Amino acid sequence: MAEQDRNIQYEKEVIFNDIVKVIKEISPETGFNGSIGPDTLLGSELELKSIDLVRLFSAIKCLYSNKPIQFQDLLISDSGDIRLDIKISQLVHFLYKHLYHD
């Protein structure tokens, strides 16, 4: 694996771990107490409601020095519908793109 690929993988693992930490901090209020992996869905599996997503995204922004992150780009489909069933891996990729390539 090339050095750049290892760096990308490491950065994505850090983001994943940050997300899991925040979810676990808010999970007592959502009732979820299972394991969280890359394919875990925010809505149907973690039972995060829209207010929980607001709290999750606010905490993520604080972790990353309040860098402006347009979470609506992740949440709103091309047809204008709100997507709550987002995989953790999709959120990781989205954050990686916005934190390291914007």
pLDDT (tens digit, 9 = 90+) per residue, 8-20?
888 999 999 999 9
User: Residue 89 is part of which domain span?
Assistant: 25-30+37-100
* Residue 30, pLDDT score: 60
In a domain, 16, yes or no: no
Model pLDDT, residue 49: 85
- For residue 18, is it within any domain? no
Domain assignment present for residue 17? The answer is no
Whether 13 maps to a domain, the answer reads: no
Over residues 83-101, the pLDDT tens digits come to 888 999 999 999 999 888 7
What's the total number of domains in the chain? 1
At 1 the pLDDT is 55
Residue pair 8/93 in contact by the 8 Å Cβ criterion: no
Residue carrying the six token digits 């993520």: 60
Is residue 90 a part of any domain in this protein?
yes
In a domain, 10, yes or no: no
Helix, strand or coil for residue 41?
strand
pTM given for the model? 0.86
6 domain-assigned: no
Residues 6+ apart with CB under 8 A from 80: none
